[in-house]
Chain A
Amino acid sequence: MSIFYPVQLFSDWLTYSVFSLAPNSIFSDAINFFIYDSIKIFILLFVIIFIVSIIRSYLPPEKIRSILSQKNKYTSNILASLLGIVTPFCSCSAVPLFLGFVQAGVPLGATFSFLVASPMINEVALVLLLGLLGWKIALIYIISGLFISIFSGIVIGRMKVENLVEPFVYQNTLNGNIDLPTMSFKQRSIYAKDYTLEIMKKVWLYVLIGIGVGAWIHGYVPADFLAMYAGSDKWYAVPLAVIIGIPLYSNAAGVIPLVSALTEKGVSMGTTLAFMMSVTALSLPEFMILKKVMKTKLIFIFGSIVAIGIILTGYLFNIVLN
């Protein structure tokens, strides 16, 4: 992380010279940690969200739909998951996305792959993982997230659950394809800038609070304090983390810095990954909204398969990364 060396210098200067705090005290350490992490995360958020938004401007959901409706069964799961990474996903759009995909002939399994990958592997979560836990953990998160979304989609596709989708979904088949305006690169940049600012406005406070509490934990909570409750030898830690993560959806931005601090205090990495995946991928508001287009039983099947995938991932990395 040497590119952030100037940020470290700046935080040192601010902590020890401007605030004149004595070095090596717990308090000054925590302040230094807070300043450094906040600046680093905000730089990363700006840069990465901007880049992702540029890519995204080439891949609106309407285009993704036409790509996916032409592919065969298994490649469509893989492609749907990959495309899910760059697509923004707000629970507002869950229903139109679902309807749009299914009515255009995208297989149900691929549609679910997309519904899992899109919120789970999002740029804000990636930035926080990258900035706070390093690129290896971020990469592990992306790859296992892809596996979970691909396999959940394949399993749901195999289960032949079309009868659990509300009948009206299949009554229309899509004919009119909207003509998307082509954008110049300048327009894409403006779109990306606006989108980046919109996301920043939404998350900055959560991120700061998360990093703040994280810095406090970093300084004041004894190392390995949590190992006795959430170490890798505790079988219940992973499923418990997944259950706690379900209602925390809207606060993903604040939860991740917090949790990354907890890993220092003995929460094992597999448990941490499972928790983050649960926060991002299993969202109560999304489930409620999906009730408009599918039976509760199907939402339950969908949630359970993803939850099982996340729990297995958690156990796997508790073993591998130990």
Chain B
Amino acid sequence: MKIEVIGSGCKKCKALFELTKEVVGDLGINDTVLYSNDINKIVMMGIMSSPVLTIDDKPVLVGMLPNKDKLKDIISRNI
């Protein structure tokens, strides 16, 4: 499974990356969380906010930094 945080390099994006790593660890998933600065990936998905969290290249979270429980919920629903 490919879990990736894509962002423009802003604070919010890095915070989402850190939180995602934490949640993925808590859920016992062994895949590494990737981090990308390639905005074109976001744009090509038709999305215009940053950061974006994708699972297997499918956007599951757009333009926001949720709290930990919410992120856990989003990730576990999409794996």
Contact = CB atoms under 8 A, between A and B. Distances in A.
Interface of A: 61-62, 65, 90-97, 99-101, 103, 168, 172, 174, 176-178, 198, 289, 292
Contacts of B11: 92
Contacts of A103: 43
8 contacts: A92-B51, A93-B49, A93-B50, A96-B39, A96-B47, A97-B48, A99-B39, A177-B46
A interface SS class: helix
A176 B45 contact: yes
Nearest to A90: B12
Contacts of B79: none
A96 B10 contact: no
Interface string B1-27: 000000111111100000000000000
Nearest to A91: B10
Contacts of A198: 64
Given A92-B51, A96-B39, A292-B39, A176 B10 contact: no
Nearest to A171: B40
Nearest to B41: A96
A172 B46 contact: no
Contacts of A100: 43, 46-48
A174 B11 CA distance: 27
Interface of B: 7-13, 39-40, 42-51, 59, 63-64
A170 B79 CA distance: 35
Contacts of B59: 178
Contacts, number: 69
B35 to A, nearest CB: 14
B77 to A, nearest CB: 13
A172 B8 contact: no
Contacts of A94: 8
A198 B51 CA distance: 16
Contacts of A91: 10
Given A92-B7, A289-B8, A289-B10, A97 B49 contact: yes
B37 to A, nearest CB: 9
A174 B42 CA distance: 11
Nearest to A103: B43
Contact of B8 (A62, A92, A174, A178): A92
Contacts of A95: 8, 39, 50
Nearest to B12: A92
Contacts of A92: 7-8, 10-13, 49-51, 63
B33 to A, nearest CB: 18
Which of A90, A103, A172, A176 has most B Cβ within 10 Å?
A90
A92 B42 CA distance: 12
A198 to B, nearest CB: 8
Which of A93, A96, A97, A168 has most B Cβ within 10 Å?
A96
Contacts of A289: 8-10
Nearest to B51: A92
Given A99-B39, A99-B40, A172-B40, A93 B48 contact: yes
A99 B45 contact: no
A287 to B, nearest CB: 13
B31 to A, nearest CB: 24
A258 B42 CA distance: 39
A94 B45 CA distance: 16
A92 B10 CA distance: 5
A314 B46 CA distance: 39
B46 A99 contact: no
